[in-house]
Amino acid sequence: MERSPQPVSAIYPGSFDPLTNGHLDVISRGARLFERLTVSVLRNAAKEPLFSVDERVAMLREVLSHLPNVEVDCFEGLLVRYATQKNATVIVRGIRAVSDYEYELQMALMNRRLEPAIETVFLMAGEAFSFISSRLVKEVYHLGGDIGALVPPAVELRLRQKTLKPTC
């Protein structure tokens, strides 16, 4: 007797401070690969983010509302513990460069050690997005540069509403 395959549920974790078009590329592709994709904002008290977790969740929900199999959530603590609670069997990670891969490989191997039933899938950034990072977006915006091609319009609007003016 054949068993029906279980739908594959994946988690794409990150800080998303702010959400970039590179993140959107990975999310859109992940949504095509998996029956359910949970985009999860990491709650990390050690970092000083520009946007609160609630603001980041709201931005993600607004921008991703057209993807019916994508949900937005937040978490803290061990990713594999959270993934288990969400019944996810895959962790999605975006890779922009070799330097990303080295760090992400260490994390994937540790996650496998902690929870062997959860696989990590690396998605290479699209060529147009391989240089974009949230940190660079904030820096370019802070210095008065145009970020229209780097983030969704809703995110650019929220960045404009934040005070990112030089202090001198």
Residues belonging to the active site: 23, 47, 96, 134
Rounded distance between C-alpha atoms, residue 19 and residue 31, angstroms: 16
Question: How remote is the C-alpha of 93 from its chain's centroid?
Answer: 8
Residues 148-164: b if buried by 16+ CB within 10 A, e if exposed: eebbbeebbebbeeeee
Q: Which of 151, 129, 128, 127 is nearest to 139 (CA)?
A: 151
Question: How remote is the C-alpha of 133 from its chain's centroid?
Answer: 11
Rounded distance between C-alpha atoms, residue 74 and residue 11, angstroms: 11
From residue 100, alpha-carbon distances to 5, 43, 69, 104, 137 in Å are 32, 21, 27, 6, 17
